[in-house]
Amino acid sequence: MADAGWVLSHARDEIRAFQAKTDWYLSASARSILEDALLAILTDDLPSRERRGAPAASSLAIDAVHELPAFLNILREQAARDPDMAKRKKIGAIFLLHHVNRFSLLKNCTCWPE
């Protein structure tokens, strides 16, 4: 069962691994938004969760953390299309917010409202 400590620890590990593998990085604000969003899966009431018959929040948070590398790569691919972002290799908070709905498109993630 995942708790806030597990979610944050594993999310930070995934972000560090992404940054090491790709040479891209997330701004501090983008990291904070991702961490808060993952924690919200544990704590927020999502009425659609029950309607869809989705698993408990703990299971959803684990799924979301496991999908994080795929989501970060989607962001990187999108950001690489912009010459300025490609030059800096930085994913900022506004860019992340603009593309956050792509998280719900990941095949194994029922954690994000559609």
Tell me the pLDDT tens digit for each residue of 56-109: 777 878 888 998 999 999 999 999 999 999 999 999 999 999 998 887 777 555
Would you say residue 96 lies in a domain? yes
26 bridge partner residues: 91
For residues 97 and 26, the answer to whether their CB atoms sit within 8 Å is: no
Residue range 3-44, pLDDT digits in tens: 889 999 999 999 999 999 999 999 999 999 999 988 888 887
pLDDT for the residue numbered 42? 81
Amino acid present at 108: N
* Rg of the chain on CA atoms, in Å: 14
Would you say residue 34 lies in a domain? yes
Would you say residue 112 lies in a domain? no
Domain that holds residue 10: 4-105
pTM: 0.84
* Domains of the chain: total: 1
From the number of C-beta atoms within 10 Å of its C-beta (0-12, 13-18, 19+), residue 65 rates as buried
- Name, in order, each residue with C-beta under 8 angstroms of 77's C-beta and a sequence gap of 6 or more: none
